[in-house]
A and B are shown apart, each in its own frame.
Chain A
Amino acid sequence: NAGVTQTPKFQVLKTGQSMTLQCAQDMNHNSMYWYRQDPGMGLRLIYYSASEGTTDKGEVPNGYNVSRLNKREFSLRLESAAPSQTSVYFCASSAASGGISYEQYFGPGTRLTVT
Chain B
Amino acid sequence: DAKTTQPPSMDCAEGRAANLPCNHSTISGNEYVYWYRQIHSQGPQYIIHGLKNNETNEMASLIITEDRKSSTLILPHATLRDTAVYYCIVREKGAQKLVFGQGTRLTINP
Q: Residues of A with Cβ closer than 8 Å to B? A: 4, 31, 33, 41-45, 48, 50, 56, 58-59, 88, 90, 92, 99-109
Interface residues of chain A: helix, strand, loop or mixed (majority): strand
Within 8 Å CB of A100, what residues of B?
93-94
Q: Contacts A42-B87, A42-B102 hold; do A106 and B96 have CB atoms under 8 A apart?
A: no
Q: How many A-B residue pairs have CB under 8 A?
A: 53
Partner-contacting stretch, out of B16-24, B36-44, B65-73, B75-83: B36-44
Q: What 9 additional pairs, Cβ within 8 angstroms, besides A45-B96, A56-B96, A90-B44?
A: A42-B87, A43-B98, A43-B100, A58-B97, A92-B43, A105-B46, A106-B44, A109-B42, A109-B43
Decide: B96 and A101 in contact? CB cutoff 8 A: yes
Q: Is B9 an interface position by the 8 A CB rule? A: no
Decide: B46 and A104 in contact? CB cutoff 8 A: yes
- State the CA gap A101–B91 with chains docked (Å): 11
Decide: A59 and B97 in contact? CB cutoff 8 A: yes
- State the CA gap A103–B45 with chains docked (Å): 10
CB-CB nearest in chain B for A94? B96
* A–B Cβ pairs within 8 angstroms, 7 of them: A41-B102, A42-B102, A92-B43, A101-B94, A102-B93, A107-B43, A109-B41
- State the CA gap A59–B97 with chains docked (Å): 9
Option from B44, B97, B100 in Cβ contact (under 8 Å) with A48: B97
Within 8 Å CB of B94, what residues of A?
99-101
- State the CA gap A36–B100 with chains docked (Å): 11
